[in-house]
Amino acid sequence: MELKSSAFQAGHMIPSTYTCDGRDISPPLSWSDPPAGTVNFALISDDPDAPMGTWVHWVIWNIPASIHTLEENLPKTASLQNGAQQGTTDFHRVGYGGPCPPSGTHRYYFKLYALDTTLNLPSSTTKKDLEQAIRGHILAQAELMGTYRRK
């Protein structure tokens, strides 16, 4: 599986549109070559360079196997029209929260998981909860890393 964004290349700067310095909207993502047997996808985005430890920016699951893109600017709601569900980030809200590093250049990882199951989880689900729920159900995973530094 390969995960990409039309907004930034792997290892490069994430445009400010997708950060707290811009519109703070989710970036467009797309993926290819999911394995046979994929029922749903889950995605976690986090920043391992945060001063207080890894900061979670996005938790989303039950993305149907027929979908291979997440459009830019997804609503910050628990349920999306495509059936996907969004959980709670370290910003204490549901949906995407963009990069907003206090200092320096940080790395932001978008980790996509192909799953063999549908998850029944509440919108209060955190990264830790999702990681626990997908354990033993991951068929494949892909990762995209972008960086950001405030001006």
Place of tokens 């590093």: 101
Residue among 57, 41, 62 nearest 113 (CA): 41
Looking at residue 142, what is its pLDDT?
98
Which tokens is 108 given?
């932001």
From residue 72, give the alpha-carbon distance in Å to each of 75, 108, 127.
9, 17, 21
Determine the 3-state secondary structure of 110 from DSSP: strand
CATH number of the domain enclosing 31: 3.90.280.10
pTM of the predicted model as reported, rounded to 2 decimal places = 0.96
Question: What count of other Cβ atoms lies within 10 Å of the Cβ of residue 70?
Answer: 24
Inter-residue contact 10 to 146 (CB < 8 Å): yes
What phi and psi values does residue 65 have, to the nearest 5 degrees?
-60, -25
Looking at residue 119, what is its pLDDT?
97
Q: Which domain holds residue 9?
A: 2-149
Which tokens is 66 given?
């027929």
* Total domains present in the chain: 1
Question: Within the chain, which residues score under 50 in pLDDT?
Answer: none
CA 141 to chain centre: 12
Looking at residue 151, what is its pLDDT?
82
Question: What count of other Cβ atoms lies within 10 Å of the Cβ of residue 63?
Answer: 25
Inter-residue contact 68 to 34 (CB < 8 Å): yes
